[in-house]
Structure 1
């Protein structure tokens, strides 16, 4: 893993498109050590212009609390500040345990709170910041990606990502601490019939997304990443089908209730429990 330090000119980036429900995105890192094979960021400029394989490099953004507080103050003068963290990386990279960039930025936000903060991660390390999430109260939602409950599927698509059991445990802990949380089954990967019930024990809200709604290209980007070939190798090619999300939605609604099952872009929009 190639890890380097960068000094950003700004931390907050104005959003558009899929994240148009937010005013800004916030990425504490560039690159991602998890290197999930289906990740749409592999086809974005941040990855394509880099002469290194996605998943082998991470740039740490050396920015302090005061810088973010100043940017938040400026942004607030122009209107409500709703932040999506993060749009092109996981805010809880392995190096975060040492560097604490994300924690520092969260500390800044507890002192100069945004109107809403959405934290998207797949890392159990997020449990560490329970104290800061609690300070943000109902203005934060921690969304944990748990795309399957089958370890063989996780290893096939994202072998460097955290184990499923660890993610479920962290989500349960945050929920029990009163932190607003959701489980993000994104993308929808093959799972067992017990999966919805397992998620219900860890979260009251679930978001579903697939390779067709979520990749920004109607499934073409995911196909170019070899998703179908991996599924065929597992004998699960029928999951690469836009109708599958409709079928599985009913299963999750039976467990969570219709109001608590969100789909694709709507599932990543601001939401207060």
Structure 2
């Protein structure tokens, strides 16, 4: 029996991907497992992602609504509405992301996660907040300064980034649930997150600089351009406005360029200090 057949056989028998011990699992087999055993997303509901996701999103909505000068009661209504569904959806999303942590090729797994999860979570988010303001505004006050629109739009990008970070963290053994010995306490995970955040936000700049150093300028340009196009497509697509697409793409390119220069300067300083 070949290696591929062996993996296929074990996945066919397993009710949960976390029962497998392979370090890498073909993406097609991950999708096959999820289709054949969808309940693993519920039984492996990621309470860590649920807790952190609910807190972060509630804080995010509170900040955006207050920045939009909404009244406190409107702000707290939006926060409570967000909490009402986010705790559940974040747990499901976390379980789904965890299912892809060993999927190969990694880039395709990242693409699927960064597109499918925002699509799922923001469909729920839009319906919930829209229904609250459209049909229940006489009970739960609606926003008066378009705060919901601003919050929803920015939240889409936040979801894509958080989905990618969760996958990045889970590939490093953090925020796992139901993964046997690999599962650590929440406290242990939280201690590792600051370093992971740093590694995550410097990943693209370091990758671009590495390609430049190796003379692969087209690769570096491809990474740079793809980042802006992805950000613009996500925000423009969900907002349904071309102006949002190209302006956010330009903003993403400016930020990535500036951050890459900062990272390059930091790496240069470290190299000089190491030589001295």
Q: Normalising TM by the smaller chain, what interval?
A: under 0.3
Structure 1 length-normalised TM = 0.25
Structure 2 length-normalised TM = 0.25
